[in-house]
Amino acid sequence: MVLDEFDCLVPVRTCKPEKPLRQRREAARTKSSVKCPKNAEWRECTNLCPEKSCENYLQVSPCFSLRCGEPGCMCKEGHVLLSSSNKEGGCVPRETCVKLDRLKANIERNKPSQ
């Protein structure tokens, strides 16, 4: 057994040749100077599951993982991506998604029928 990049014990046969853990952590620290989008913050351990967005914030995700993903920016607690297709658009409070849903519903309801 050996430690993988997430400090988990794994059988030797599953190990992939890659940078040692120390080198990966040092690289992550230098990347932490990256400016994250609005309401997002740098994390050395991101979630492997896709982040929630206004499009799917109410859906139960079938994805579950206790392992760390690559270091990077993630939405702050209580926030979701404004759009899953544009992570640079930043994160918004979940309540904002509710307001957007209501606005879209009102627009659809008030559209002139043809």
Domain boundaries, the chain: 1-31, 35-114
pLDDT > 90 in the chain, percent: 29
- Is the pLDDT at 4 greater than 70? The verdict is no
Q: What is the pLDDT of residue 91?
A: 95
CB proximity list for 76: less than 8 A, separation 6 or greater: 39, 40, 41, 91
E-strand stretches of 1-114: 2-3, 9-10, 40-43, 46-47, 68-69, 72-75, 79-81, 91-93
Full-model pTM = 0.60
Task: Please tell me which of 11-20, 26-35, 41-50 the model is most confident about, judged by mean pLDDT.
Answer: 41-50
Q: What is the pLDDT of residue 14?
A: 45
State the average pLDDT over residues 25-32: 60
| Residue-wise pLDDT tens digits, 32-88 | 578 999 999 999 999 889 999 999 988 888 888 888 888 999 999 999 999 988 888
- What rounded mean pLDDT belongs to the chain? 80
**35-114: what fold?**
Laminin (2.10.25)
